Chains A and B, each alone.
Chain A
Amino acid sequence: MARYGMVMDMRTCVGCQACMAACSTENQTPFWSEKFRTHVEDKEQGVFPDVRRVQLPRLCMHCENTPCLSACPTGATHMDKNGIVLVNYDRCIGCYACCIACPYDARYAYDGEDVDKERELYGKNVSHEMPHVDKCTFCVQRLAEKLEPACVATCPTHTRIFGDLDDSKSEVHKLARSGKAQPLNQGLGTSPKVFYIPS
């Protein structure tokens, strides 16, 4: 049993969006509708002439105190034994209460049109057979094979660091423990398991 988490090193992100492409390919997310499980926010900071661009990669924060899990009436949203917040597609009714409750814009509708398009593109090898609300799973299917999530494996600048937050030897544990990496929106009390090293 682990407590998986991620650290984003914003000092190194160049905004190449390879993570978004890798996630889309791995998880058949509807890029054709511009819906992604992970995004890279491209922000401008400061006032001219003292300005700079900052990239902020984001995805589901896999919160310990999950507003989405509380909002889901069907129990489709649940947390597995490794602390990963997942959606059981068979039980999801698509009421969007979780999308409204999520403070990190981590969820979207994998609707009927997306399911049809996915079938057209992937044939019989579809991952999403019915409409549901979709979100990041930390690539559970890859973790089962001892592989890192697709976005982490693809990132060329080692911006995304993945591991077990409870494993004292892991890089994520050390970064989160040291306070060098901090979660977003801590005031909400959601205890995210994704941390950020500011640029």
Chain B
Amino acid sequence: MTFVHQEVWHWQIATYLFLGGLGGATFAISAIIHLFEGCDRKMVSVAVMSSIAFLVIGTVFLLADMLQPLKAIYALTNPKSWIFWGVVFINFYFIAAITYVIPLLEAWPKLEPFIRKIPEPILGLLERFNNLAALGGSAAGFLVAIYTGLLISAAPAINFWNTPALPLLFVISGFSTGAAFLLLLSTFSDNEGAHKIASRLEQLDAVLIVTELIILGAYFNFAMFLPTGARASAEFLFHSPVFIAGFFVAGLIVPLAIETYSIFFRGHGNEGRKSALPILVASSLVLVGGYLLRIYVLKAGMFQFPW
């Protein structure tokens, strides 16, 4: 039995996985908040445009890692492959997100002349199906986020990846980074409701981090007690200072502590911009932690060969 570190997918794919989770989750959370809580259209439009940008950049990283990116359209051939479904989810996401965001862009006076160039009947249709696009895009965003985990779990000889815990970990981490990104955005908003939304997002992120910790506990418990490549991978991560200090401590524990303090001991109401610093720190740490998680999960992938 030989354990060999995979040398196939590197930081480019980790970036794609991170931005896929972040983009999908940012859209899903912001559209759901917009639908059910209501918040200012400027903030939602910035969030949605950012989420589209994340997925575009992520896709560029994926294509840049391919040997023949110009033939990428062939990826829509084999439905047994997760990449096939990734392409479907991402394209569906793009259609829904663009349909959803165009009417929202009217909130920006400088963009209004461009929006007005769209024929009235089409604009009317976009307005009419705005809620549907929000829900459809949220579903697609969720699927993109979970797909990033499903993609790498399709590796029968990499025991650490080939587990149902990995897609769960990636989707929860993706939503945590999405909530953190929206928290960051909320600190730039002057809108009255922004603080209320920030408070909700903080609660959501704290719950997601706790869930992530539970999944991590189950995941490592599974990995450490199996005499396979999964244990070798888990041991590799335990001995990686950047993973422990950067992801686990700085990316999960510290933001959770800041958010818990903020939720229970510090009000948002009248403190205004004074309360922005802890949010900025916690959100940035969650985002960096989310990226480190993907980088290190890929690094830790070990083939278990039978020789």
Of A67, A74, A94, A112, the residue contacting B77 (CB under 8 A) is A74
B71 at the interface (CB under 8 A from A): yes
Query: Which A residues lie at the B interface, using CB under 8 A?
Result: 41, 43, 56, 58, 67, 69-76, 91-97, 99-105, 109, 111-112, 130-133, 184-185, 188, 190
Interface string of B50-77 (1 = CB under 8 A from A): 0000000000001001111101101111
Q: Are A75 and B67 neighbours in the complex by a CB distance under 8 Å? A: no
Task: Please determine whether A74 and B157 come into contact, CB atoms closer than 8 angstroms.
Answer: no
Task: Output the least CB separation between B14 and chain A (Å).
Answer: 13
Q: Tell me the count of chain B residues lying within 8 A, CB to CB, of chain A.
A: 35
Residue of A nearest to B161 (CB): A100
Sample of 9 more A-B contacts, CB < 8 Å, known A71-B154, A103-B303, A184-B307: A69-B80, A71-B83, A73-B76, A74-B77, A93-B74, A95-B62, A100-B9, A105-B305, A188-B156
Residue in A70, A76, A97, A104 whose beta carbon sits within 8 Å of that of B305 in the complex: A104
Q: Do residues B305 and A74 form an inter-chain contact, with CB atoms below 8 A?
A: no
A71 touches B82 (CB 8 A): yes
Residues of B within 8 A of A69 (CB): 80
Q: Is the CB of B67 within 8 A of A70?
A: no
Q: Is B8 located at the chain interface by the 8 A CB criterion?
A: yes
Contacts of B65 in A (CB 8 A): 95-96
- B303→A70 contact, CB < 8 A: no
- Produce 1/0 per residue, B138-158, CB < 8 A to A: 000000000000011011111
B240 contacts partner chain A, Cβ-Cβ < 8 Å: no
- CB-nearest residue of chain B to A189: B156
Tell which of A75, A93, A102, A105 touches B66, judged by Cβ atoms closer than 8 Å. A93
Supposing A99-B8, A104-B305 touch, asked if A73 and B71 sit within 8 A by C-beta, the answer is no
Q: Is the CB of A93 within 8 A of B71?
A: yes
- Residue of B87, B155, B156, B305 with highest tally of chain A CB at under 10 A: B156
Q: Select from chain B the residue with minimum beta-carbon distance to A110.
A: B67
Q: Decide: A132 and B68 in contact? CB cutoff 8 A.
A: yes
In the complex, the answer to whether B303 meets A94 with C-beta atoms within 8 Å is no
Contact A70 B154 (CB under 8 A): yes
CB proximity of B87 to chain A, nearest CB, Å: 7
Q: CB of B270 within 8 A of chain A?
A: no
Is the pair A91, B74 in contact by a Cβ cutoff of 8 Å? Answer: yes
State A73–B89 Cα separation when bound (angstroms).
14
In whole Å, how far is B67's beta carbon from the nearest beta carbon of chain A? 2
B189 within 8 A of A: no
Q: How far is the CB of B214 from chain A (nearest CB, A)?
A: 27
In order of increasing CB-CB distance, the 8 nearest A-B pairs are A94-B67, A103-B157, A73-B83, A74-B74, A73-B81, A131-B67, A73-B75, A75-B77
| Residues of chain B with a CB closer than 8 A to A56's CB | 307
Q: Are A102 and B157 in contact (CB under 8 A)?
A: yes
> Which B residues are in CB contact (< 8 Å) with A70?
78, 80-81, 154
**Residue B84 lies at the interface, judged by CB distance under 8 Å to chain A:** yes
A102 / chain B contacts, CB cutoff of 8 Å: 157
What residue of chain A has the Cβ atom nearest to residue B71's Cβ?
A: A93
Q: A73-B78, A76-B74 given as contacts; is B67 within 8 A of A101 (CB)?
A: no
Known contacts being A56-B307, A104-B305, is A109 close to B67, with CB within 8 Å? yes
